Amino acid sequence: MSSTPVAVVTGGNKGIGFAIVQALCKHFQGDVFLTARDPGRGQAAVRKLQEEGLHPFFHQLDIDDLQSIQALRDFLKEKYGGVNVLVNNAGIAFKVHDTTPFSVQAEVTLKTNFFGTRNVCTELLPLVKPYGKVVNVSSSVSLSSLASCSKELQQKFRSDTITEEELVKLMTKFVEDTKTNTHVKEGWPNTAYGVSKIGVTVLSRIQARMINEKRKGDHILLNACCPGWVRTDMAGPKAPKSPDEGAETPVYLALLPADADGPHGQFVSDKTVRTW
Ligand code: NAP
């Protein structure tokens, strides 16, 4: 088993994930794994970085596929005995003018952004080593969407005692409510992406609390963040930030020094803790 520290980035073949891998290759003292759901796209991205003189490794990971997540988990356990840095970056968003029925958009978006990210966490968080860092790439849209929720939902999502099971029930309820077109009446904002990212931010707050309860002495720091509005296939060419600039906050959180005692359980943008 290798004692080399290891960092893993999901959705690393393009966009912000690719820029995060690139920055970690330069600044993380250890092995960096670019993961992608499609091995062809993933290997092509690795080759691009190799041409720059960087040395990322590749592992397949489709966060929608539990077997794929478990294969990565087993590999990390066997080869490294765990993981030091995990960046949950993979995500999807339907385009604004997409005509796919809203209920389908809700199901598909939540499946990847919330349930897929949660499954990665369920399988990989137990492997995170002492002084490890976990970065869940959420979005400032989670904050604006929270403000558009009913007072009752806002209270639940801001609660310091909400459990992961309760959060999963709420995310499932959103998808169900869109199917009967009752989601607005039930207090939800009219954005599947926004609700999925509320899920990611609240999940991060819950997971950080669990780390405090169960692994207090391990000095693990886990946060949600927003990369900003970034020029990628997801956000389009008009966004103000380059992918490198978008990677700055996630990379800052991934490389917090060993003696840092925070941020932890926070929502961070532009390297600044925001009020949830
Ligand atoms: P992007 O260019 O569309 O890249 C998304 C990445 O996620 C791709 O590598 C994609 O792989 C991967 N992915 C999607 N579904 C996956 C799955 N099931 N399993 C594994 N990988 C999967 O988007 P981006 O702008 O870089 O976004 C990265 C993250 O930042 C997302 O979580 C997004 O919500 C968040 N974010 C972006 C912005 C922005 O302005 N761009 C703002 C706030 C938050 P494929 O190439 O195979 O599709």
Domains of the chain plus CATH, in order, are 6-100+113-140+198-274 (3.40.50.720)
Q: Give yes or no for residue 226 CB within 6 A of ligand 1.
A: yes
* Atom 16 of ligand 1: nearest residue by CA position: 90
Helix (H, G, I), strand (E, B) or coil at 45: helix
Q: In what order do the strands lie in the sheet with 267-269?
A: 57-60, 31-36, 6-9, 83-88, 128-137, 221-226, 267-269, 272-274
Separation of 93 CA from ligand 1 center, angstroms? Answer: 8
Separation of 224 CA from ligand 1 center, angstroms? Answer: 15
Enumerate residue ranges in the chain where pLDDT < 70.
none
Strands 83-88 and 128-137: parallel
Query: If DSSP states are collapsed to H, E and C, what string results for 1-28?
Result: CCCCCEEEECCCCCHHHHHHHHHHHHHC
Q: In the chain, what are the helix, strand and coil shares in percent, each to the nearest 5? A: 50, 15, 35
Q: Give pLDDT, residue 180.
A: 98
Reported as a single tens digit per residue, the pLDDT across 34-83 is 999 999 999 999 999 999 999 999 999 999 999 999 999 999 999 999 99
Choose the residue to mutate in 14, 95, 121 for probing ligand 1, maximizing ligand atoms within 8 Å of C-beta.
14
**Both structure tokens of 23:** 């920055």
Separation of 259 CA from ligand 1 center, angstroms? Answer: 31
Helices then strands, each counted (H, E), the chain: 10, 8
Contacts of 174 by beta carbon, 8 Å cutoff, 6+ apart: 106, 110, 183, 188, 195
Q: Give pLDDT, residue 211.
A: 98
234 Cα nearest atom in ligand 1? 3
Are the C-beta atoms of residues 49 and 56 closer than 8 Å to each other? yes
Closest to 17 in 3D by CA, of 29, 25, 9: 9
Q: How many C-alpha atoms does 112 have within 13 Å on its Cβ side? A: 19
Contacts of 126 by beta carbon, 8 Å cutoff, 6+ apart: none
Q: Is 131 a catalytic residue?
A: no
Reported as a single tens digit per residue, the pLDDT across 160-181 is 999 999 999 999 999 999 999 9
Are the C-beta atoms of residues 195 and 106 closer than 8 Å to each other? yes
DSSP symbol at 127: G
The sign one gets for the Cα dihedral 263, 268, 272, 273 is: negative
Q: Give pLDDT, residue 105.
A: 98
Q: From residue 196, how far is each of 57, 72, 192, 230 by CA, in Å?
A: 29, 24, 6, 19
Cis upstream peptide for 263 (omega within 30°): yes
Q: Give pLDDT, residue 234.
A: 98
Closest to 251 in 3D by CA, of 9, 46, 3, 5: 9
Q: Give yes or no for residue 17 CB within 6 A of ligand 1.
A: yes
